[in-house]
Amino acid sequence: MSADPETIEAIRRFSRFYTRRIGLLHPLLLDSPFSLAEARVVYELGSRGTATAAALAAELDLDAAYLSRILRGFDRRGLILRQRSGTDARATLLSLSDAGRAAFAALDAGSRDQLAALIGPLPPPAQRRLAAALEAAAALLGVAPQVPARPWLLRAPRVGDLGWIVHRQAVLYAREYGWDAGFEALVAGIVSRFVEQFDAARERCWVAERDGEVVGSVFLVRKTDTMAQLRLLYVDAAARGLGIGARLVEECLCFAREAGYGRIMLWTNDVLTSARRIYQAAGFTLTAEERHHSFGHDLVGQNWERAL
C-alpha cells in the first residue's frame, strides 16, 4: 500500500506549524535550562518515579550513549539519585532528587500553561474536536493513547444527528478505505428510508455520544416479518477500543428479540475486519459471499446471520 502524497504534505505542514508554535526549535524548552531531550528524560522520571537507564532509552528511543551523557549532566546538577535495584543487583534505579522534582514541576506547569494559551481561545466544542482528532491520529498511526477512557452513553437520535452520521460515515470510509461518493449515497438512502418508513414497534437507531459528540451509531430495521437487519454500524476512529461497537450490536440483538424477530442479518464487506470480529463475537455466522464493484473498488460483499 503506497503513501498518499497529499497526506504526507499535510502531516509535514502540521509538524512545521506545531514545532514552531510550541518552540521546539529553540535550544532550550519552555525557557527552562533543559533541551527537549533533557526535558523528556526529566518528565519520564517524574512520571514513573523510578526507572533504569535501559528502560528510559527504550521508552524515549534515545541512543544509550547520548542518554548516558544526559544523565551525567543531571548528576553534576544534583537532579537525580541512583540506587541499586532490590530485585536485580545488576540494575541501577534512577529517580529525581528534590531539585529534580522541582524542575519537573516547573516543566509540567510550563507545558500546561503553554497549551492552555494555545487552545484557550477555542470554544469548548472546538477543544473537544481537537482532542478527538488527536486521538484519532494516534489510533490511525497505531499508537495506543495512555489516557483513561472517557465515559460514553447511548441514546436515541436527535434532530441533526442523522445528517451527521451520513457525513461521518462518508468521511471515515473515504479516509480509511478510499471509498467514493457512491457509499455516501448508499448511507444517505438507508437513513432517508429509515426516517420516512420508521416503524417504532420494530425499528430503532442508537447513537453513541462522548463529550457531547456523536462517536458511533447503528440501525435496526425490518427485513421481513421474521428477519431483522442490522445496518450502518459505525464507531469513530477516536472512540475505538472502548467497547462501543460491541454494545451497539448487543442493543440491536436485545431489541430484535423483544420486537418478535426470529433471526437477524447484516450485509458487510470482507475488508471491514474490525466490524467482522464484532459480529463473530456476537454469534453471527457467514451465510453468503458475492464479489461486486462498488464505491470505486472491487469488493467481496458478505451476508451474516444468527438466530435470536
Retrieve residue 269's grid coordinates: 464487506
Domain count, the chain: 2
Does residue 182 contact residue 296 with C-beta atoms inside 8 Å?
Answer: yes
Q: Are residues 205 and 298 in the same domain?
A: yes
CA 189 to chain centre: 28
How far are the Cα atoms of 226, 284, 303 from residue 229, in angstroms, in the given order?
Answer: 10, 12, 10
pLDDT digits (tens, 9 = 90+) for 24-59: 767 777 778 888 888 888 888 887 778 888 888 888
**pLDDT tens digits, one per residue of 194-230:** 999 999 999 999 999 987 889 999 999 999 999 999 9
Q: pTM of the full predicted structure?
A: 0.57
Residue whose C-alpha cell is 477512557 = 149
| Mean pLDDT score of the chain | 87
Burial of 65 (0-12, 13-18, 19+ CB in 10 A): exposed
Looking at the structure, do residues 161 and 107 belong to the same domain, yes or no? Answer: no
Q: Residue 117 falls within a domain, yes or no?
A: yes
Residues 157 and 303 grouped into a single domain: yes
- Do 295 and 157 share a structural domain? yes
CATH number for the domain that contains residue 115 = 1.10.10.10
Domain range enclosing 158: 153-307
| Domain-located, residue 282 | yes
In the chain, the percentage of residues whose pLDDT exceeds 90 is 46
pLDDT digits (tens, 9 = 90+) for 127-163: 877 877 777 777 777 655 555 556 788 899 999 999 9
